[in-house]
Structure 1
Amino acid sequence: MFEHTTLKALGLTIQLGHRHDQQACPNPIPARADFTVIDLNGRHPVSLAYCGCDNAANAGDYVQQLLRFDLYPATDCEPNTAFTYALLEHYHIQSLQGKISMYDYYTSLERMTDNTGIEKARDRYKSFMRVVAQWRHLKMLQRAGRGHDPSGVDGTSPGELAVPCPACPHPAFNLPPNWESVSDDLKYLYILTVAIDACFRLKRRDVSGVDKNPILGSGWAYFVEDTGYKEILLGYRKEDEVRLILPTARHGTSLTVAQISSCTGFSALDHADSKFSRGYDATGVGAVVCARHEFWLAQGVGDLQKGERYINMDYIFVSAMREHLVTNKIVSYDIACQWSQSLLERIAKFPPHVQIDIPQSSISYVIPKLHFRSHIQQGHSPYSLNYLRGAGRTDGEGIERRWWDIQPIAASTKVMGPGQRQGVLEDHWGYANWRKRADMSWTLRDRLKAAITAHAEHAALFNALTSSLQPDNISRWATQIAAWEADPWGEDDPYIVSSGGLTEVETMQELTSEEQKASTVVGYIALHDVSPLGFITMGLQIEDQKYAWSMLYSSLYH
């Protein structure tokens, strides 16, 4: 039979401090007798000895000697537990790619050590959580080159640890010297397109606090700087929330209550302060991503406290735009028709160190394509990505796909302290950005191939349609569209079809009345299980579903 034993029981002692010369230390200093090393194959009692001879100055202190032997100590003062670098690297990748929770991973290590339940090992889970939090943060600093900078870690700038999008326009980085003076028909090449949204799955319960679980490098990556953000929120009052009607109200027109309530933007704002928040320190997060390449932007994420309030989203947007002030922007937001109203005036009320200069003419507001159908048609064509020059085939829904990627860890981050939660989320967002960046050459290649094929197909369809129309109509329509694009709020909307017939609701009411009148006649017998009204309603629903699914397919795969 095989009897389980350990190398420590067989007399092995690992000597630290002489790894470079492989010499025996003449004055070894034993580590604690209960020293434990946790590796990929479980927990191991280990006999260690630190260097205490003349080479100790080069070997470093006890913590440095462990680190130079690829052992990460659980504490920096008399450690008696260490985790191997191989273990930390393995868990790091497993958590990022497989979304494996820290608890499940650590429990699996315990099961590999003893799966019988006979021995009760001393719990090192809290130590593992602390070490992993440090490991994540150190890796971000290392990959940003902070270890080689003369100013060190303390010299890290806001947002410097975020992985930037290499394809978005950055002056002096990927734009030609004359990019600002190009003709109007080429300006779309240098427009930054961003998407804003909130996710209420990424909650955090009101547990722990920054004193017990501090944030490492607040504001250095994707989250906004915590202290300044909370100071702004403390000065906010509910009555300061700006509530405006649709943009058509700026031109002397009015909307009915029914039209206003049918707009998803008003629904989101009206329920902003009624989100369930008891027992939660954060009810979700708001974020800004680049809409074309779906990269999380530096300092473009912030916690929400009471739904999707203006004050939160304004601050997050301002923080994310600090590095993109000189480029024109397209901003996609599912409530852009309301949020954009007086945005620049609200930003102007921020403290001077938070304000940014955004010229009115440098920014366009749009609604993502799938969300656009939830808004009323009147007054919303200027917010459509289908009609905006330079938008291309951007759908604005990329941020929804980013939420889908991150939601598998929402259950575990919900119960974390503030520092650990921010560290985990930022690490996952950095990994997502890096994978996007590493795969971008293949992504752009595939999209170019698809675009060439689609262009030929749609050009043929467009030419066939054009040839079937009267030249006078084409000229008149082109003139109307050009005038509307130059002044979308002052000209009649060419994309709204005027109709004097019955609306869908009025038609349904008339058919219902006819059916009820027919059913009251003595001897009436229904010929079919489905009434005429039900048949028509079902047909309209099928058409709506077909259109919605075609839009979803287009956004996901094109």
Structure 2
Amino acid sequence: HDMEQDPGDGGLALFCPTLPQPGLNLPADWKVQYDSHRQYVVDGNFTAQHMKMNKPELDVALSDGKGYMVTEVPYQKHLKQSLDSKERSTCSNHRAINAANINKSNLQSTGIGATACAQHGCFVPKLCGRFSERGARYMNTDYSICNALGYHSESIIKALVIYDVGCQWSVNFRSRVKNSPSLLLPPALEIVPAVGKLHLAAHKLSCFPRYSLNFIKGAGHLDGEILETLWAPFNKISPTARSMTQAHGQEVYDDHMRDSNWKKLVGMGDKYIPNIKKYKNSNKCLEEMNQAYEQLTAVLDPDKVAQWESNALRAEADRGEALDIHLLKGDRAPTFHEVWLQLTKNPKFPSGNVGLAAWLAEGISIEDSQ
């Protein structure tokens, strides 16, 4: 309530009290603990659209960039300066990439993108940005992620970034940051890209070992989909904000995200009692799994076990294609097209497409011959 001091960007926002933040909630030896690494989840909401204003010059922002929405001027400057790379997905047909070239002239924005802490789902301040009328593009996501990685993250050395299309986004991320004057990353920061467990099922098989949270140390049992649960209540207010002025809509979104973070803050104790029970059950299951693992290891060749462990550690360090050692090797079932091709090569199978009338005529002919 100090009216004499400017709150600054994100100064009116609450954040997650448990996310690792140097100088706030980390022990002295935090740099050598993997649980002191950042964990973020990134996602877009295509329901939170905004229509074009008839007189945008009359729009007045009272708290631009003070909450969870981006500061508009530097954000728009970044979008203008960034190269519009039309990268088509080579993995899956997610809307986040392929909808980027769809033009909706009646809309000022086709949605918003946000970043939240992956453990508790608290929105990160000052980086929720609107997508243009052409949808979500990497330039939008890059701006949000870079700001998240730089928020109270002095000396943080590693960050996990979970994104629906992380396999595609991460390929040229460093080069896009290097070529953009408005994007900065903390020095010596290692970024580990991953894909949420729900969306990973729609990806190529090779994405499973390379971007699965199951093969990332410190990820625990994260599902990487917590933002999906935050969009559900968010979508109840977004239709109302659709036709508001841009400034008014941003303030409504700020209020909603602030309320969401506040509820998580005050309920941080009682709300996570079920997680304590899960933790105790996990410890019990861990003992059982360790016992089964030791029994299996005891009957295997010690040299092969040592080699497997060495390969697993090397793959964890190198990542990328090195993680393909976790792919199961087995006979793959034939696809629909392969079965169809095999049937067409059968001499008893009629060549070409058989229409409904021809199929009925063949059936009548068979019936008459009997």
Tell me the TM-score normalized by structure 1: 0.57
Q: Which amino acid aligns with 2:60?
A: P
Secondary structure of the residue that 1:429 maps to in structure 2?
helix
Extract unaligned runs of 5+ from structure 2: 351-358
- State the match for 1:115 in structure 2: none
Alpha carbons of structure 1 residues 492 and 345: separation in structure 2 relative to 1, 3 Å = closer
- Which residue, out of 198, 202, 215, partners 1:387? 215
Alpha carbons of structure 1 residues 325 and 263: separation in structure 2 relative to 1, 3 Å = farther
- State the match for 1:400 in structure 2: 228
| Cα shift at 1:268 | 3.8
Equivalent pair of 1:215/1:420 in contact (CA under 8 Å)? yes
2:159 maps to 1:303: no
- State the match for 2:43 in structure 1: 197
Give the Cα–Cα distance (whole angstroms) in 1 for the partners of residues 282 and 74 of structure 2: 48
Alpha carbons of structure 1 residues 348 and 424: separation in structure 2 relative to 1, 3 Å = same
Equivalent pair of 1:196/1:331 in contact (CA under 8 Å)? yes
| Cα shift at 1:461 | 4.6
Give the Cα–Cα distance (whole angstroms) in 1 for the partners of residues 308 and 187 of structure 2: 31
Give the Cα–Cα distance (whole angstroms) in 2 for the partners of residues 331 and 492 of structure 1: 18
Equivalent pair of 1:205/1:415 in contact (CA under 8 Å)? yes
- State the match for 1:285 in structure 2: 112
Give the Cα–Cα distance (whole angstroms) in 2 for the partners of residues 480 and 270 of structure 1: 36
Secondary structure of the residue that 1:318 maps to in structure 2?
helix
Equivalent pair of 1:210/1:419 in contact (CA under 8 Å)? no
Give the Cα–Cα distance (whole angstroms) in 2 for the partners of residues 440 and 173 of structure 1: 17
- State the match for 2:2 in structure 1: 146
Give the Cα–Cα distance (whole angstroms) in 1 for the partners of residues 96 and 331 of structure 2: 32
% identical aligned pairs: 24
2:148 maps to 1:320: yes
Give the Cα–Cα distance (whole angstroms) in 2 for the partners of residues 297 and 491 of structure 1: 32
Give the Cα–Cα distance (whole angstroms) in 2 for the partners of residues 369 and 172 of structure 1: 33
2:298 maps to 1:460: no
Equivalent pair of 1:166/1:437 in contact (CA under 8 Å)? yes
| Cα shift at 1:235 | 3.4
**CA shift digits 1:457-506 (9 cap, x unpaired):** 35425533652563226444333322211222363622212335553446
Q: Which amino acid aligns with 1:233?
A: L
Give the Cα–Cα distance (whole angstroms) in 2 for the partners of residues 363 and 488 of structure 1: 11
Equivalent pair of 2:200/2:207 in contact (CA under 8 Å)? no
Give the Cα–Cα distance (whole angstroms) in 1 for the partners of residues 212 and 201 of structure 2: 10
User: What is the number of equivalent residue pairs in this alignment?
Assistant: 349
**CA shift digits 1:16-46 (9 cap, x unpaired):** xxxxxxxxxxxxxxxxxxxxxxxxxxxxxxx
- State the match for 2:17 in structure 1: 166
- State the match for 1:410 in structure 2: 238
Give the Cα–Cα distance (whole angstroms) in 1 for the partners of residues 127 and 45 of structure 2: 13
Alpha carbons of structure 1 residues 412 and 502: separation in structure 2 relative to 1, 3 Å = closer
Give the Cα–Cα distance (whole angstroms) in 2 for the partners of residues 482 and 236 of structure 1: 38
Give the Cα–Cα distance (whole angstroms) in 2 for the partners of residues 428 and 492 of structure 1: 40
2:197 maps to 1:373: no
**CA shift digits 1:372-411 (9 cap, x unpaired):** 1111012542211011011011111011111112001121
- Which residue, out of 121, 130, 146, partners 1:294? 121
Give the Cα–Cα distance (whole angstroms) in 1 for the partners of residues 161 and 177 of structure 2: 15
- State the match for 2:92 in structure 1: 263
Secondary structure of the residue that 1:232 maps to in structure 2?
helix
2:193 maps to 1:342: no
Equivalent pair of 1:325/1:357 in contact (CA under 8 Å)? no
Look at both structures and tell me which one has the larger radius of gyration over its CA atoms. Answer: 1
Alpha carbons of structure 1 residues 488 and 318: separation in structure 2 relative to 1, 3 Å = closer
Q: Which amino acid aligns with 1:495?
A: H
Give the Cα–Cα distance (whole angstroms) in 2 for the partners of residues 475 and 506 of structure 1: 42
Equivalent pair of 1:189/1:390 in contact (CA under 8 Å)? yes
Equivalent pair of 2:50/2:111 in contact (CA under 8 Å)? yes
2:313 maps to 1:482: yes
| Cα shift at 1:343 | 1.3
Alpha carbons of structure 1 residues 501 and 427: separation in structure 2 relative to 1, 3 Å = closer
Equivalent pair of 1:264/1:335 in contact (CA under 8 Å)? no
Give the Cα–Cα distance (whole angstroms) in 1 for the partners of residues 65 and 114 of structure 2: 14
- State the match for 1:330 in structure 2: 160
Map 1:53-68 to 2 at 5 A. none
Alpha carbons of structure 1 residues 385 and 490: separation in structure 2 relative to 1, 3 Å = closer
- Which residue, out of 59, 72, 77, partners 1:213? 59
- State the match for 1:243 in structure 2: 87
| Cα shift at 1:517 | 4.2
| Cα shift at 1:224 | 0.8
Tell me the TM-score normalized by structure 2: 0.84
Structure with higher RCO (Cα < 8 A, 6+ apart): 2
Equivalent pair of 2:22/2:154 in contact (CA under 8 Å)? no
Equivalent pair of 1:209/1:418 in contact (CA under 8 Å)? no
Equivalent pair of 2:149/2:159 in contact (CA under 8 Å)? no
- State the match for 1:450 in structure 2: 278
Give the Cα–Cα distance (whole angstroms) in 1 for the partners of residues 176 and 2 of structure 2: 36
**Displaced runs of 4+ in structure 1, greater than 6 A?**
518-522
RMSD (CA atoms): 2.9
2:29 maps to 1:178: yes
Q: Which amino acid aligns with 2:74?
A: G
Give the Cα–Cα distance (whole angstroms) in 2 for the partners of residues 386 and 496 of structure 1: 12
- Which residue, out of 344, 348, 356, partners 2:184? 356
Alpha carbons of structure 1 residues 228 and 436: separation in structure 2 relative to 1, 3 Å = same
Equivalent pair of 1:199/1:403 in contact (CA under 8 Å)? yes
- State the match for 1:34 in structure 2: none
**CA shift digits 1:168-220 (9 cap, x unpaired):** 0111110112322x3xxxx2210110111111100011125554231112111
Equivalent pair of 1:367/1:383 in contact (CA under 8 Å)? yes
Equivalent pair of 1:208/1:417 in contact (CA under 8 Å)? no
Give the Cα–Cα distance (whole angstroms) in 1 for the partners of residues 30 and 86 of structure 2: 36
**CA shift digits 1:34-84 (9 cap, x unpaired):** xxxxxxxxxxxxxxxxxxxxxxxxxxxxxxxxxxxxxxxxxxxxxxxxxxx
Alpha carbons of structure 1 residues 319 and 445: separation in structure 2 relative to 1, 3 Å = same
Q: Which amino acid aligns with 1:338?
A: Q
Secondary structure of the residue that 1:493 maps to in structure 2?
helix
Alpha carbons of structure 1 residues 325 and 304: separation in structure 2 relative to 1, 3 Å = farther
